[in-house]
Structure 1
Amino acid sequence: MQKTVLIVEDEFLIAMDLKSMLERRGWRVIGPVASVTAAALLLERERPSVALLDVDLGNELATPVAEQLTSLDIPFAVASAYDRPELVAGEVLAGAPNVGKPAQERRLLAVLGELTGT
């Protein structure tokens, strides 16, 4: 079964870089999407193995996406420059691994591997 990852990132170049990086390593990327609404619509159609969330999506926070993922038992990581993303976007992010921003490929792959058990 192929590993799938939902990417929620509002900065186009960063989203495309993450997508390319993960596809090169055999992941199937869902999205990327740049908003809470777009992420919710994708999650209605498909359940990824894991998700990667930018905390600050421009004019909104990724909190509702993290809450939806939690309710669906889909693990997620954040890609954020914030040291403590939960202070910005709520307690639902507490304990979520942070791959940093910009994400280093080695760290990103390690975190997603841990979350999916691969």
Structure 2
Amino acid sequence: MEKTVLIVEDEFMIAMSLETMFEDRGWRVTGLAPSVKDALRLLELERPAVALLDVNLGTEMVTPVAEALKSLGVPFALASAYDRPELFGGAILASVPNVGKPTNESHLFNVLEQLVRQT
């Protein structure tokens, strides 16, 4: 399976840094989405192997994206500074791995590669 990832992050510089990090490791980024609307539109175009989600996207929470990913069977991880993201984004985020924000690069890829292998 090709290693593809959807990045849902509203901070432009963080999203660009993540995109470069993924591409440097041989992953293909299916899209960068700064909002729920953009992420859902990208999911209509292509289903990634995995997704990386920021919990708080400015004025909205990522919850609808998490729900869409779950319904599509796409595993995802969070990149959040929240210790308990489910308190902000709902129960759907309760058992999702959180790589933290800022994240350690090797930890990020270990988590995502494990998610890809489980599918």
TM-score, structure 2 as length reference: 0.96
Structure 1 residues not aligned, in runs of 5+: none
Q: How much identity, in percent, do the aligned residues show?
A: 64
Q: Distance in 2 between matches of 1:78 and 1:58?
A: 16
2-structure distance, mates of 1:17, 1:108: 13
Distance in 2 (CA, whole Å) between partners of 1:49 and 1:42 is 13
Partner of 1:114, secondary structure, is helix
The offset of 1:26, in angstroms, is 0.5
* C-alpha separation in 2, matches of 1:90 and 1:100: 17
Letter in 2 for 1:82: Y
Aligned residues: 118
Separation in structure 1 between the aligned mates of residue 8 and residue 76 of structure 2, nearest angstrom: 11
Structure 1 runs (4+) greater than 6 angstroms displaced: none
Partner of 1:45: 45
- Cα RMSD over matched residues? 1.0
- For residues 60 and 97 of structure 2, what CA distance do their matches in structure 1 show? 21
Displacement of 1:2 after TM fit? 2.1
